[in-house]
Structure 1
Amino acid sequence: MALFEERSFGDVTVKEIAAAARVFPNQITHHFGSKDALYVGSAFGLLLRQSERLREAGHGAATPGNLGRTLASTAMSMTSLSVVVGAMAVARANPSVQPAVDAGLTVLFRQSSGYLRTVLRDRGWKAGLGVDRSVRIFWSAVFGSVLTSRASFDRGMSAADLAAALPIAGT
């Protein structure tokens, strides 16, 4: 994960991955099937690890609007997002790794929905579009923002824009 976080997919070799893992290169391809599959798995592993920051950041949010802005700004600071967007591009070009993307997104959405349900229940707030739909819209907006920024479009979404993708109302 660290190699892909530091450098682009094309700049990391299977030989380097094997050396970092202290295994032989053929063990990497035997276990994962391909560098593409390893990249997708690593990208989502990194994202899921970094997404724990969202729980910590959202803990102190006193209002629904503050929660949305806090989650959005925290999400946009996660270095793993660029890696995941790259992994999605790899999966588009290699359909054999698409199930790994689907699995990673399923876990991300499930964990995010669980977190949001807990916050809403504990604070008596409501998600205007429903929890599962709000989570999918939020992450889609985050990934889209990363994609446009990677394309050198300098007017990406702000944290406030992304927070609007997570409509939460107090009681």
Structure 2
Amino acid sequence: MSIAEPARARGRRTRARILQTAAELFAAHGHAAVSVAAIAKAARVYPHQITYYFGSKDGLFVHASLSTLLRDAVRLEPIGLRQRGPGAFRSALARTALALPSVPAAVQAMSISRVRPELQPVAQTYLAVLFRRAEHYLVELLARRGWAVDRPAAVEVRTFWSAVLGARLISESGYGGRSADVDLAGVMTVRER
């Protein structure tokens, strides 16, 4: 006799599968080239399930892009921990953050949420998590290394991520130059105490 999986657990698993599949498809092909039907087929769900869980293709894109950014941001932590001095820390984090493959899609997702008011709370939630995790990491690192910052840690991480996202937005908007033309390391104030 088999016990049926509870509906709520099955729903969470289905939602996670849709999100993961969409993130992979959007990363490979971009927002415009991926249809709801293609996502549904790849995730082995019905198209109306995407609407049920995410509201729309744009809603799914915002969730997928920003959740991928959260996952990729964790990659900065061990890189920062390996650095012995504040200057090396600032440079390594700046270089790595600008190269994260999820940043362009995150910028696009925030642009979509700006014009879709129902998606603004989604973007705000993901950004709040990003900032909170980054602040926790920074506070622990500062305590471990005996380093300091010239402003509150919360302001430091918001400034850093705003500069990362802004640099990519400028570089991808057609302006000549690259995101590396921004002195992202100079935006951070991490220093010896």
Which TM-score applies when normalising by structure 2?
Answer: 0.85
What corresponds to 2:131 in structure 1?
Answer: 109
Percent identity over paired residues: 38
Q: Does 1:77 align with 2:99?
A: yes
What corresponds to 1:128 in structure 2?
Answer: 150
Report the Cα offset of residue 153 of structure 1. 1.9
Bigger-Rg structure (1/2): 2
Give the RMSD, CA atoms, in angstroms. 1.3
Deviations 1:55-108 (A, max 9, x none): 121121111111111111111111100000010111112111010000010000
| 8 A contact 1:54–1:71 mirrored in 2 | yes
Q: Does 1:37 align with 2:63?
A: no
User: Kindly tell me: are residues 17 and 95 of structure 1, through their superposed partners in 2, closer, same or farther at Cα, counting changes over 3 Å?
Assistant: same
CA distance in 1 between partners of 2:44 and 2:71 (Å): 22
Q: How does 1:17-96 map to 2 (within 5 A)?
A: 17-96=39-118
For the residue of structure 2 that corresponds to 1:10, the secondary structure is coil
CA distance in 2 between partners of 1:160 and 1:131 (Å): 21
Which TM-score applies when normalising by structure 1?
Answer: 0.95
| 8 A contact 1:112–1:135 mirrored in 2 | yes
Deviations 1:110-168 (A, max 9, x none): 00001111110000001111211010010000011000111122324438710111111
Count of residue pairs the alignment pairs up: 171
CA distance in 2 between partners of 1:36 and 1:134 (Å): 30
| 8 A contact 2:135–2:157 mirrored in 1 | yes
| 8 A contact 1:69–1:159 mirrored in 2 | no
5+ long unaligned stretches in structure 1: none
| 8 A contact 1:51–1:75 mirrored in 2 | yes
CA distance in 2 between partners of 1:154 and 1:20 (Å): 37
| 8 A contact 2:167–2:182 mirrored in 1 | no
Out of 28, 44, 67, the residue aligned to residue 6 of structure 1 is 28
